[in-house]
Amino acid sequence: MRGAIAVPAVVALVLTTALTLVPPALAAPPSPSPTPPTPPAPSAQDSADEAGSLVARIATARADLDRLTADLGRRQELANRALADDTTARRRADDARKAAEESRRGADAAAATAERARADVDAWITAWFQQADVLGPLSVLSGSSGPDDVAARAHLRDVVTSDQRAALDGAERARIEAANADSRARAARIAADDLAVQAAAARVAADAELARVRTDTDAQQAQLRDLTARRDAAEARLRDLEDADPALAAQRDRAEAFDAAATARDTARDQRVRRAASAGLEARAARAATPRAAAAEDPLADAGISTDGMTDEVRTVLERALSQLGVVYAWGGGDEQGPTQGIRDGGVADQHGDYDKTGFDCSGLMIYAFAALGKDLPHYSGYQAEAGQRVAIEDRKPGDLLFWADDDGQGAVHHVALYLGGDQMVEAPESGKTVRIASVRFDDEIVPTVTRLV
């Protein structure tokens, strides 16, 4: 079979030479490379399924971010507790020092009084011996010119004796008071020294708590960044799917329009409420003899809160808090006068630049709200929970303080808000946000009691 189709050697040589001499332009074109198969376009159902999966992933990432942020907020509030303890300890130590100094001045004054009284007694004793021959019993009778003279001399002796006795009694009282005052001064000095030691310990504890917050936050930053990246990637992919699918795009546009309208509505409401609250406070401060504003200008009514039976004290507290709607959150910010510059925590608050903002944190807003009634609250939500009457949350009223705590509401308190009524509250939520009206979060961490200060 192979011999039947063989080509003679000469013919093969001629063919090979001829092919070699053919110009490239005339050569046969090379075979085209195979075209890769075009993948099938994803079906609408596939896009919808992927979009649903992405939405679920985004929701999970956001929930995880919320939990992580809340955990960081709890750590911040524990640092707030340490700072409040430090502030209280330093104030008590300072008050004790001033009291000790005042007590020592009182003791010195008492000692000076006792010394003067002793000198008076010494003078009386000297005078007594010098005039003993004049005022003695025999001298009263001898040398007298008559009964009247005897009576006069006797009266003089009685007066001198009475004055001497009073001087002796006064000297003894002054000596005892000086001794007591000195004891009080010594005790006050000891108490002041003890409180100074406690203040130093509180300062160390506050520094340590801030350091723990800083360390914990540093350890969680990688997790925070990872969660944020996953959320952002899922949101970017979802947007790509929506852009490619008219139905999904239309659905997204409707959702965004709804969110924008809701945000605009809430923003407009907060602006009206804030203006009305400020106006109400100014009117009361000036004791204006004008009737209460109409319901449309009532900040509580505008927020959907019933004011039936509400006292002026409660209204003042609520309006004072509502007058700060939109003020930025700043950890450590807020006092009796209003928003203050935040402080550093070495973590999440620093990332949001809270130390460079003027605003409120959750407990700072409560300090400002209740300062209108002369209530002096500590700058820690856990201590604010102990500042008044504890009432079951089922019996909550406008003006009550709501709290959230670890361990299903039984552990350390980490957030506080002011109850407005109608299951609405005003709060300074967390770094990156502003003072706002929100629905009460009846979650596992809400404390089952409220604190009533008014």
- Beta-bridged to residue 424, according to DSSP, are 421, 439
Give the tokens for residue 209.
């708590």
Secondary-structure breakdown of the chain: helix, strand, coil percentages, each rounded to the nearest 5: 65, 10, 25
Catalytic hit among 77, 362, 379, 430: 362
Contacts of 235 (CB under 8 A, 6+ apart): 54, 58
Sign for the CA dihedral angle at 272, 275, 280, 283 comes to: negative
In 10 A of CB 422, how many CB atoms? 14
- Which residue's entry shows tokens 């449309």? 296
Query: Please, are residues 415 and 384 in contact by the beta-carbon 8 Å criterion?
Result: no
181: buried, middle or exposed (CB in 10 Å: 19+, 13-18, 0-12)?
buried
Q: How far from chain centre, in Å, is Cα 265?
A: 28
**Distance between CA atoms of residues 71 and 275, nearest Å:** 34
Per the DSSP assignment, residues forming a β-bridge with 404 are 415, 446
Spot the catalytic one: 352, 379, 414, 415: 415
User: Residue 362 catalytic?
Assistant: yes
Q: Which of 242, 319, 427, 430 is catalytic?
A: 427
Give the Cα separation of 366 and 84 in Å (integer): 14
String of DSSP letters for 370-431 = HHTTT----SSHHHHTTSSEEEEGGG--TTPEEEEEHHHHTS-EEEEEEEEETTEEEE--ST
Rounded to the nearest 5°, which phi and psi values hold at 143? 75, 5
415 is catalytic: yes
Nearest CA to 99 out of 40, 184, 19 is that of 184
By the 10 Å C-beta count (0-12 exposed, 13-18 middle, 19+ buried), 299 is classed as buried
Residue with tokens 């350390």, as numbered in its chain: 412
CB distance 348 to 332 below 8 Å: no
Catalytic residues: 362, 415, 427
